[in-house]
């Protein structure tokens, strides 16, 4: 371009651009953009673009922005940039985003990868991950339970406390006669604990005792026998204390008078003063 002496001076960018063709201006713009992009931020030591990795709690979109800026500053070939960004987006992502990208079918675009990884870290995603871990832990625990053996019989799928051999061979004295439950062992210092069931708290029923004739004897009959035995002993003591003149003659037995019974302190608890002698 030839300028004459009478032409106005090109002291501004607008005047200079007015004399240049459109294609030249486009090339200048692209070159300026590349130069600006390649300038690293002030006070920041930039590493290689291959060392840009996603932090565990960093959003995937923020990681892609840092990776794109590093590739733009360090890679000149435009045809290689997109391929580099796509490869490093998966290689340098955190484990959660890698799992999401690996689960995508086909060859997803960069926009589809960004949309899928944007859900990472949300409550729904955290609940899904926790559900998977819990399900895995439950399956492992159930598998270990199936492989364990009982210490009593050696068979799997149950513990010693639930062993059927212990249940079948259990002594009847270990179960409460009132509720039928298995009794817990009483404390050593508690003497009355054996009379009550440790499961229901009720007093245990004692088995009936057999008398000399082979039949059962209830508690009331035993108390009656003890009272009759005590009365007989008192009668014998009273007869020994009676005077010699009132003893029996022949086969007849003289019974003591009512006064004699009343005067004897040993039988006052059995005979009332107002009653007649036996």
User: Model confidence over 57-115: pLDDT tens digits?
Assistant: 888 999 999 999 888 888 888 888 889 999 999 999 998 889 889 988 888 888 899 88
What's the chain's length in residues?
278
- Helix ranges, the chain (H): 13-18, 22-37, 60-74, 78-91, 95-103, 110-117, 123-147, 164-168, 219-241, 258-263
CA distance 115 to 61: 9
Distance of CA 225 to the CA centre of its chain: 61
Burial of 54 (0-12, 13-18, 19+ CB in 10 A): buried
> Domain limits of the chain?
17-122, 160-185+194-201
More confident residue, 120 or 72: 72
In the predicted structure, residue 170 carries a pLDDT above the cut 50: no
**pLDDT beyond 90 at 121:** no
Beta bridge partners of 175: 182
Tell me phi and psi for residue 180, to 5 degrees: 85, 0
Give 47's pLDDT tier (boundaries 50, 70, 90): confident
Partners of 182 in beta bridges: 175
Q: Which two tokens stand for residue 41?
A: 């931020």
Task: Provide the pLDDT for residue 116.
Answer: 86
Say which range, 5-9, 48-52, 95-99, 185-189, has the weakest mean pLDDT: 185-189
pLDDT for 100: 87
Name the residue with higher pLDDT: 112 or 6.
112
User: Tens digits of per-residue pLDDT, 210-264?
Assistant: 555 555 555 555 555 556 666 666 566 666 555 544 444 444 444 454 444 445 5
* pLDDT tens digits, 10-32: 667 777 777 788 888 888 888 88
CA–CA gap between residue 7 and residue 119 (Å, rounded): 62
Q: Retrieve residue 232's tokens.
A: 């007989």
Q: Based on the number of CB atoms within 10 Å of its own CB, is 64 exposed (0-12), middle (13-18) or buried (19 or more)?
A: buried
179 confidence band (pLDDT: 50, 70, 90): low
d(CA 203, CA 68): 83
What's the pLDDT at 36?
Answer: 81
Structure-token match 């435009």, residue found:
78
Bridge partners for 210 per DSSP: 216
**Average pLDDT over all residues of the chain:** 70
Residues near 85 by beta carbon (within 8 Å), at least 6 away in sequence: 64, 67, 68, 71, 110
Tell me the CATH number of domain 17-122, given options 1.10.1200.30, 1.20.120.450, 3.30.465.10, 3.30.1330.40: 1.10.1200.30
Please state which of the ranges 40-44, 175-179, 202-206 shows the lowest mean pLDDT. 175-179
């Amino acid at each position: 371009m030839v300028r004459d002496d009478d032409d106005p001076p090109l002291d501004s960018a607008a005047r200079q651009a007015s004399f240049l063709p459109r294609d030249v201006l486009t090339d200048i713009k692209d070159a300026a953009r590349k130069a600006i992009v390649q300038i690293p931020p002030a006070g920041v030591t930039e590493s290689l673009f291959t060392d840009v990795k996603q932090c565990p709690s960093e959003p995937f979109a923020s990681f892609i922005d840092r990776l794109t800026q590093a590739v733009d500053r360090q890679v000149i070939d435009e045809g290689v940039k997109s391929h580099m960004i796509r490869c490093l987006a998966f290689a340098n992502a955190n484990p959660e985003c890698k799992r999401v990208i690996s689960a995508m079918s086909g060859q997803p675009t960069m926009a589809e990868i960004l949309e899928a990884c944007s859900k990472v870290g949300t409550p729904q995603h955290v609940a899904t991950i926790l559900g998977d871990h819990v399900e895995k832990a439950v399956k492992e625990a159930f598998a270990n339970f199936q492989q364990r053996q009982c210490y009593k019989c050696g068979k799997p799928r149950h513990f010693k406390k639930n062993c059927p051999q212990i249940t079948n061979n259990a002594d009847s004295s270990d179960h409460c006669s009132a509720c039928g439950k298995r009794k817990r062992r009483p404390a050593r210092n508690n003497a009355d604990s054996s009379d009550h069931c440790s499961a229901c708290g009720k007093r245990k029923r004692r088995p009936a005792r057999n008398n000399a004739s082979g039949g059962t004897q209830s508690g009331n009959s035993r108390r009656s026998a003890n009272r009759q035995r005590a009365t007989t002993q008192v009668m014998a003591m009273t007869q020994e204390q009676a005077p010699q003149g009132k003893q029996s003659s022949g086969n007849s037995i003289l019974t003591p008078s009512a006064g004699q019974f009343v005067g004897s302190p040993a039988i006052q608890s059995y005979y009332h003063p107002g009653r007649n002698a036996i």
